[in-house]
A = this chain, B = another copy of it.
Protein backbone atom coordinates (compact mmCIF):
# COMPACT_ATOMS: atom_id res chain seq x y z
CA UNK A 1 0.00 0.00 0.00
CA UNK A 2 1.15 3.51 -0.81
CA UNK A 3 0.55 6.09 1.86
CA UNK A 4 -1.15 9.18 0.45
CA UNK A 5 -2.41 12.56 1.60
CA UNK A 6 -5.11 14.72 0.05
CA UNK A 7 -4.62 18.48 0.29
CA UNK A 8 -7.72 20.60 -0.26
CA UNK A 9 -9.77 17.66 0.90
CA UNK A 10 -12.97 19.47 1.86
CA UNK A 11 -13.74 21.15 -1.47
CA UNK A 12 -15.69 19.66 -4.37
CA UNK A 13 -12.65 17.96 -5.90
CA UNK A 14 -11.27 16.96 -2.53
CA UNK A 15 -14.52 15.18 -1.75
CA UNK A 16 -14.22 13.21 -4.96
CA UNK A 17 -10.70 12.18 -3.91
CA UNK A 18 -12.12 10.92 -0.63
CA UNK A 19 -14.62 8.82 -2.58
CA UNK A 20 -12.13 7.61 -5.18
CA UNK A 21 -9.72 6.44 -2.46
CA UNK A 22 -12.38 4.61 -0.43
CA UNK A 23 -11.25 0.96 -0.13
CA UNK A 24 -8.59 1.50 -2.78
CA UNK A 25 -6.48 -1.65 -3.19
CA UNK A 26 -3.13 0.17 -3.66
CA UNK A 27 -3.52 3.57 -1.98
CA UNK A 28 -4.27 4.37 1.65
CA UNK A 29 -5.50 7.84 2.55
CA UNK A 30 -3.57 8.67 5.69
CA UNK A 31 -4.10 12.43 6.08
CA UNK A 32 -6.52 15.10 4.87
CA UNK A 33 -5.60 18.77 4.87
CA UNK A 34 -7.54 21.91 4.09
CA UNK A 35 -7.70 25.61 4.89
CA UNK A 36 -7.36 27.23 8.29
CA UNK A 37 -11.15 27.37 8.58
CA UNK A 38 -11.47 23.58 8.51
CA UNK A 39 -8.32 22.66 10.42
CA UNK A 40 -8.75 20.80 13.68
CA UNK A 41 -12.29 19.70 12.86
CA UNK A 42 -13.49 16.24 12.05
CA UNK A 43 -13.92 15.85 8.31
CA UNK A 44 -17.70 15.48 8.62
CA UNK A 45 -17.91 18.77 10.52
CA UNK A 46 -15.50 20.58 8.22
CA UNK A 47 -17.75 20.06 5.20
CA UNK A 48 -20.78 21.61 6.89
CA UNK A 49 -21.63 25.21 6.02
CA UNK A 50 -21.33 27.15 9.27
CA UNK A 51 -24.10 29.65 8.46
CA UNK A 52 -26.86 27.47 7.08
CA UNK A 53 -25.88 24.15 8.62
CA UNK A 54 -26.16 22.49 5.21
CA UNK A 55 -23.78 19.61 4.60
CA UNK A 56 -21.72 20.84 1.64
CA UNK A 57 -21.55 17.40 0.09
CA UNK A 58 -23.36 16.91 -3.17
CA UNK A 59 -22.08 13.55 -4.36
CA UNK A 60 -24.47 10.69 -5.00
CA UNK A 61 -22.38 8.54 -2.73
CA UNK A 62 -22.84 9.18 1.00
CA UNK A 63 -19.80 10.46 2.95
CA UNK A 64 -17.61 7.36 3.37
CA UNK A 65 -17.39 6.13 6.92
CA UNK A 66 -13.60 5.88 6.90
CA UNK A 67 -13.12 9.63 6.56
CA UNK A 68 -15.86 11.04 8.79
CA UNK A 69 -13.77 11.18 11.94
CA UNK A 70 -10.39 11.99 10.39
CA UNK A 71 -9.15 15.30 11.78
CA UNK A 72 -8.46 17.87 9.05
CA UNK A 73 -4.91 19.27 9.18
CA UNK A 74 -3.68 22.67 8.10
CA UNK A 75 -1.78 22.46 4.83
CA UNK A 76 1.48 23.46 6.50
CA UNK A 77 1.11 20.62 8.96
CA UNK A 78 1.66 18.10 6.17
CA UNK A 79 5.09 16.50 6.35
CA UNK A 80 5.52 15.37 2.74
CA UNK A 81 8.35 12.98 3.53
CA UNK A 82 5.88 10.78 5.38
CA UNK A 83 3.90 10.08 2.21
CA UNK A 84 4.52 8.12 -0.97
CA UNK A 85 2.23 10.44 -2.93
CA UNK A 86 0.28 13.63 -2.35
CA UNK A 87 -2.88 14.56 -4.23
CA UNK A 88 -3.57 18.30 -4.31
CA UNK A 89 -6.89 19.97 -5.07
CA UNK A 90 -5.92 23.57 -4.50
CA UNK A 91 -6.57 26.91 -6.13
CA UNK A 92 -3.78 27.79 -8.53
CA UNK A 93 -2.36 30.51 -6.30
CA UNK A 94 -1.92 28.13 -3.41
CA UNK A 95 -0.70 25.29 -5.60
CA UNK A 96 2.09 27.51 -6.90
CA UNK A 97 3.50 27.85 -3.38
CA UNK A 98 2.71 24.50 -1.82
CA UNK A 99 3.32 21.93 -4.55
CA UNK A 100 7.06 22.64 -5.09
CA UNK A 101 7.64 22.23 -1.35
CA UNK A 102 6.00 18.83 -1.39
CA UNK A 103 7.73 17.81 -4.64
CA UNK A 104 11.17 18.12 -3.07
CA UNK A 105 10.55 14.83 -1.33
CA UNK A 106 7.36 13.39 -2.73
CA UNK A 107 5.46 12.95 -6.00
CA UNK A 108 2.49 15.31 -6.33
CA UNK A 109 -0.52 14.73 -8.57
CA UNK A 110 -2.39 17.98 -8.96
CA UNK A 111 -5.70 19.18 -10.34
CA UNK A 112 -4.48 22.80 -10.41
CA UNK A 113 -3.31 24.69 -13.49
CA UNK A 114 -0.30 26.22 -11.73
CA UNK A 115 2.46 24.17 -13.41
CA UNK A 116 0.70 22.80 -16.49
CA UNK A 117 2.35 25.15 -18.91
CA UNK A 118 5.97 24.78 -17.83
CA UNK A 119 8.27 23.03 -20.28
CA UNK A 120 9.36 20.18 -18.02
CA UNK A 121 5.86 19.42 -16.79
CA UNK A 122 3.66 17.01 -18.73
CA UNK A 123 -0.14 17.20 -18.66
CA UNK A 124 -1.10 13.57 -18.35
CA UNK A 125 -4.28 11.71 -19.31
CA UNK A 126 -3.86 8.01 -18.58
CA UNK A 127 -4.33 6.10 -21.80
CA UNK A 128 -3.72 9.09 -24.06
CA UNK A 129 -0.16 10.30 -23.59
CA UNK A 130 1.45 7.88 -21.16
CA UNK A 131 4.81 8.35 -22.88
CA UNK A 132 4.84 11.99 -21.71
CA UNK A 133 5.35 10.65 -18.19
CA UNK A 134 9.03 10.31 -19.05
CA UNK A 135 9.20 14.10 -18.76
CA UNK A 136 8.74 13.66 -15.01
CA UNK A 137 12.28 12.33 -14.78
CA UNK A 138 13.56 15.33 -16.73
CA UNK A 139 11.65 17.53 -14.29
CA UNK A 140 13.20 15.75 -11.28
CA UNK A 141 16.67 16.29 -12.65
CA UNK A 142 16.03 19.92 -13.69
CA UNK A 143 14.70 20.91 -10.33
CA UNK A 144 16.72 18.65 -8.07
CA UNK A 145 13.57 17.09 -6.63
CA UNK A 146 13.06 13.58 -5.35
CA UNK A 147 9.39 13.95 -6.20
CA UNK A 148 7.67 15.71 -9.09
CA UNK A 149 4.53 17.62 -10.00
CA UNK A 150 2.19 15.83 -12.38
CA UNK A 151 -0.87 17.95 -13.18
CA UNK A 152 -4.09 16.74 -14.75
CA UNK A 153 -5.57 18.82 -17.54
CA UNK A 154 -8.53 21.13 -17.08
CA UNK A 155 -11.70 19.00 -16.82
CA UNK A 156 -12.99 20.37 -20.13
CA UNK A 157 -9.83 19.35 -21.97
CA UNK A 158 -10.01 15.73 -20.85
CA UNK A 159 -12.98 14.47 -22.86
CA UNK A 160 -11.94 16.36 -25.96
CA UNK A 161 -8.36 15.09 -25.94
CA UNK A 162 -9.57 11.52 -25.33
CA UNK A 163 -11.85 11.62 -28.37
CA UNK A 164 -9.39 13.46 -30.62
CA UNK A 165 -6.54 11.02 -29.98
CA UNK A 166 -7.90 8.05 -32.00
CA UNK A 167 -9.01 10.43 -34.79
CA UNK A 168 -5.57 11.99 -34.90
CA UNK A 169 -3.75 8.67 -34.96
CA UNK A 170 -5.79 7.36 -37.87
CA UNK A 171 -6.94 10.36 -39.91
CA UNK A 172 -4.85 13.30 -38.73
CA UNK A 173 -6.49 16.31 -37.05
CA UNK A 174 -5.99 19.84 -38.37
CA UNK A 175 -8.72 22.03 -36.95
CA UNK A 176 -11.10 21.81 -34.01
CA UNK A 177 -14.04 24.03 -33.08
CA UNK A 178 -15.62 23.22 -29.74
CA UNK A 179 -18.49 24.66 -27.72
CA UNK A 180 -18.90 23.33 -24.19
CA UNK A 181 -21.99 23.19 -21.99
CA UNK A 182 -20.38 22.74 -18.61
CA UNK A 183 -21.84 21.50 -15.36
CA UNK A 184 -22.20 23.42 -12.12
CA UNK A 185 -19.88 21.18 -10.14
CA UNK A 186 -17.01 22.33 -12.35
CA UNK A 187 -17.20 25.67 -10.56
CA UNK A 188 -16.93 24.11 -7.13
CA UNK A 189 -18.85 25.23 -4.10
CA UNK A 190 -17.08 28.16 -2.40
CA UNK A 191 -19.54 29.34 -3.48
CA UNK A 192 -19.39 28.12 -7.08
CA UNK A 193 -22.38 29.06 -9.19
CA UNK A 194 -25.20 30.83 -7.38
CA UNK A 195 -28.66 29.44 -8.07
CA UNK A 196 -30.10 32.88 -8.89
CA UNK A 197 -27.49 33.23 -11.65
CA UNK A 198 -28.02 29.95 -13.48
CA UNK A 199 -31.62 28.77 -13.09
CA UNK A 200 -33.47 29.09 -16.42
CA UNK A 201 -30.23 30.44 -17.88
CA UNK A 202 -26.95 29.86 -19.71
CA UNK A 203 -23.80 31.80 -18.81
CA UNK A 204 -21.69 32.08 -21.96
CA UNK A 205 -18.36 32.63 -20.26
CA UNK A 206 -16.03 30.79 -17.88
CA UNK A 207 -12.95 32.86 -17.05
CA UNK A 208 -9.68 31.49 -18.56
CA UNK A 209 -11.33 28.21 -19.53
CA UNK A 210 -11.07 28.54 -23.30
CA UNK A 211 -7.38 29.42 -23.29
CA UNK A 212 -6.64 26.45 -21.06
CA UNK A 213 -8.44 23.99 -23.32
CA UNK A 214 -6.81 25.40 -26.43
CA UNK A 215 -3.26 25.23 -25.08
CA UNK A 216 -3.57 21.98 -23.14
CA UNK A 217 -5.05 20.03 -26.04
CA UNK A 218 -2.05 20.87 -28.21
CA UNK A 219 0.38 19.84 -25.48
CA UNK A 220 -1.37 16.58 -24.63
CA UNK A 221 -1.58 15.59 -28.28
CA UNK A 222 2.04 16.64 -28.85
CA UNK A 223 5.13 14.47 -29.37
CA UNK A 224 7.50 13.51 -26.58
CA UNK A 225 11.11 14.14 -27.60
CA UNK A 226 14.04 13.11 -25.46
CA UNK A 227 13.67 16.05 -23.08
CA UNK A 228 10.58 17.98 -24.06
CA UNK A 229 7.16 17.94 -25.67
CA UNK A 230 6.57 19.40 -29.10
CA UNK A 231 2.93 20.59 -29.14
CA UNK A 232 0.68 19.24 -31.84
CA UNK A 233 0.05 21.48 -34.83
CA UNK A 234 -3.71 21.08 -34.43
CA UNK A 235 -5.54 24.40 -34.23
CA UNK A 236 -8.26 24.66 -31.57
CA UNK A 237 -10.97 27.25 -30.98
CA UNK A 238 -13.40 27.05 -28.07
CA UNK A 239 -16.38 28.75 -26.53
CA UNK A 240 -17.09 27.57 -23.00
CA UNK A 241 -20.49 28.04 -21.37
CA UNK A 242 -22.17 27.07 -18.12
CA UNK A 243 -25.58 25.39 -18.13
CA UNK A 244 -27.96 24.30 -15.34
CA UNK A 245 -26.67 20.72 -15.08
CA UNK A 246 -25.26 19.27 -11.86
CA UNK A 247 -22.45 17.09 -13.24
CA UNK A 248 -21.02 16.20 -16.63
CA UNK A 249 -19.56 18.46 -19.31
CA UNK A 250 -21.20 18.19 -22.72
CA UNK A 251 -19.08 19.32 -25.68
CA UNK A 252 -20.09 19.92 -29.29
CA UNK A 253 -17.01 19.27 -31.44
CA UNK A 254 -16.31 19.95 -35.14
CA UNK A 255 -13.09 18.35 -36.41
CA UNK A 256 -11.27 18.99 -39.70
CA UNK A 257 -9.14 15.98 -40.54
CA UNK A 258 -6.17 15.54 -42.87
CA UNK A 259 -7.59 12.45 -44.54
CA UNK A 260 -11.23 11.77 -45.38
CA UNK A 261 -13.00 10.37 -42.33
CA UNK A 262 -16.34 8.63 -42.57
CA UNK A 263 -18.39 8.61 -39.35
CA UNK A 264 -18.55 4.81 -39.39
CA UNK A 265 -14.76 4.62 -39.65
CA UNK A 266 -14.28 7.15 -36.88
CA UNK A 267 -16.63 5.16 -34.67
CA UNK A 268 -14.75 1.96 -35.43
CA UNK A 269 -11.46 3.66 -34.65
CA UNK A 270 -12.70 5.07 -31.35
CA UNK A 271 -13.94 1.63 -30.30
CA UNK A 272 -10.72 -0.04 -31.40
CA UNK A 273 -8.75 2.51 -29.42
CA UNK A 274 -11.01 2.04 -26.40
CA UNK A 275 -10.56 -1.71 -26.51
CA UNK A 276 -6.79 -1.64 -26.55
CA UNK A 277 -6.20 1.36 -24.32
CA UNK A 278 -3.06 1.07 -22.20
CA UNK A 279 -4.71 1.41 -18.81
CA UNK A 280 -6.89 -1.70 -19.00
CA UNK A 281 -6.88 -3.55 -15.74
CA UNK A 282 -5.87 -0.71 -13.45
CA UNK A 283 -8.14 -0.51 -10.40
CA UNK A 284 -9.89 2.74 -11.43
CA UNK A 285 -9.95 2.07 -15.18
CA UNK A 286 -13.44 1.83 -16.64
CA UNK A 287 -14.78 -1.19 -18.47
CA UNK A 288 -15.19 1.08 -21.54
CA UNK A 289 -12.76 3.91 -22.15
CA UNK A 290 -14.99 5.37 -24.88
CA UNK A 291 -18.62 4.51 -25.69
CA UNK A 292 -20.12 5.59 -29.03
CA UNK A 293 -23.92 5.85 -29.29
CA UNK A 294 -25.88 5.51 -32.52
CA UNK A 295 -28.97 6.83 -30.72
CA UNK A 296 -29.03 10.49 -31.81
CA UNK A 297 -30.39 11.65 -28.47
CA UNK A 298 -27.24 10.58 -26.62
CA UNK A 299 -25.05 11.44 -24.80
CA UNK A 300 -27.13 13.19 -22.19
CA UNK A 301 -25.40 14.32 -19.00
CA UNK A 302 -28.03 13.13 -16.51
CA UNK A 303 -28.30 9.70 -18.09
CA UNK A 304 -24.75 9.01 -19.20
CA UNK A 305 -22.47 10.67 -16.68
CA UNK A 306 -22.51 7.82 -14.19
CA UNK A 307 -21.68 5.07 -16.68
CA UNK A 308 -18.70 3.11 -15.33
CA UNK A 309 -18.62 5.46 -12.36
CA UNK A 310 -17.95 8.52 -14.53
CA UNK A 311 -14.71 7.19 -16.02
CA UNK A 312 -16.02 6.64 -19.56
CA UNK A 313 -16.06 9.31 -22.26
CA UNK A 314 -19.43 9.00 -24.04
CA UNK A 315 -19.70 10.03 -27.70
CA UNK A 316 -22.76 10.45 -29.90
CA UNK A 317 -24.07 12.22 -32.96
CA UNK A 318 -21.07 11.26 -35.08
CA UNK A 319 -21.80 12.83 -38.49
CA UNK A 320 -19.98 14.03 -41.53
CA UNK A 321 -19.23 17.73 -41.24
CA UNK A 322 -20.76 20.06 -43.82
CA UNK A 323 -18.04 22.74 -43.88
CA UNK A 324 -14.69 20.95 -43.80
CA UNK A 325 -13.58 19.21 -46.97
CA UNK A 326 -12.62 16.34 -44.69
CA UNK A 327 -14.26 16.44 -41.35
CA UNK A 328 -16.67 15.07 -38.82
CA UNK A 329 -18.68 16.43 -35.92
CA UNK A 330 -19.89 14.87 -32.71
CA UNK A 331 -21.04 15.50 -29.16
CA UNK A 332 -19.17 14.12 -26.17
CA UNK A 333 -19.85 13.84 -22.48
CA UNK A 334 -17.17 13.62 -19.81
CA UNK A 335 -17.72 13.55 -16.06
CA UNK A 336 -15.88 16.62 -14.82
CA UNK A 337 -15.52 15.36 -11.27
CA UNK A 338 -14.65 11.75 -12.04
CA UNK A 339 -12.43 11.09 -15.10
CA UNK A 340 -11.98 14.86 -15.47
CA UNK A 341 -10.74 15.36 -11.96
CA UNK A 342 -10.13 13.39 -8.75
CA UNK A 343 -10.79 9.85 -9.90
CA UNK A 344 -8.82 10.58 -13.07
CA UNK A 345 -5.98 11.66 -10.78
CA UNK A 346 -6.21 8.38 -8.91
CA UNK A 347 -6.14 6.53 -12.22
CA UNK A 348 -3.02 8.53 -13.10
CA UNK A 349 -1.43 7.45 -9.83
CA UNK A 350 -2.18 3.84 -10.72
CA UNK A 351 -0.61 4.25 -14.15
CA UNK A 352 2.52 5.91 -12.73
CA UNK A 353 2.88 3.16 -10.17
CA UNK A 354 2.39 0.58 -12.90
CA UNK A 355 5.24 2.24 -14.81
CA UNK A 356 7.40 2.39 -11.66
CA UNK A 357 7.31 6.15 -11.52
CA UNK A 358 5.89 6.06 -8.01
Taking Cβ atoms with an 8 Å cutoff, the residues of A that contact B are 12, 51-58, 60, 62, 175-177, 179, 181, 184-185, 189, 191-205, 207, 214, 235-237, 239, 241, 243-246, 250, 252, 254, 295-303, 306-307, 316-317, 321-324, 329, 331
Which residues of the partner chain B approach A185 to less than 8 Å between Cβ atoms?
196
Which residues of the partner chain B approach A62 to less than 8 Å between Cβ atoms?
307
A250 CB, min distance to chain B CBs, angstroms: 5
Which residues of the partner chain B approach A298 to less than 8 Å between Cβ atoms?
55, 204
A61 CB, min distance to chain B CBs, angstroms: 10
**Which one of B193, B204, B245 lies within 8 Å of A250 (CB-CB)?**
B204
Q: Could you tell me the distance between the alpha carbons of A317 and B204 in the complex, rounded to whole angstroms?
A: 8
What is the oligomeric copy number?
Answer: 4
Which residues of the partner chain B approach A176 to less than 8 Å between Cβ atoms?
323
Tell whether, in the assembled complex, residue B236 and residue A322 are in contact, meaning their CB atoms are under 8 Å apart: yes
A26 CB, min distance to chain B CBs, angstroms: 29
A181-B202, A200-B302, A252-B241 are contacts. A175–B323 as well, Cβ < 8 Å?
Answer: yes
Tell whether, in the assembled complex, residue A203 and residue B244 are in contact, meaning their CB atoms are under 8 Å apart: no
Could you list some 25 contacts between A and B, CB below 8 A? A58-B197, A58-B303, A177-B177, A179-B252, A181-B181, A181-B202, A191-B194, A194-B194, A199-B200, A199-B246, A199-B302, A201-B245, A201-B301, A201-B302, A202-B245, A202-B300, A203-B300, A204-B296, A205-B296, A205-B317, A237-B329, A241-B250, A241-B252, A241-B331, A252-B252
Tell whether, in the assembled complex, residue A241 and residue B181 are in contact, meaning their CB atoms are under 8 Å apart: yes
In the complex, which residue of chain B has the Cβ closest to the Cβ of A52? B207
A54-B203, A207-B52, A245-B200 are contacts. A239–B195 as well, Cβ < 8 Å?
Answer: no
**Which one of B57, B252, B295 lies within 8 Å of A53 (CB-CB)?**
B295
A259 CB, min distance to chain B CBs, angstroms: 19
Tell whether, in the assembled complex, residue B297 and residue A236 are in contact, meaning their CB atoms are under 8 Å apart: no
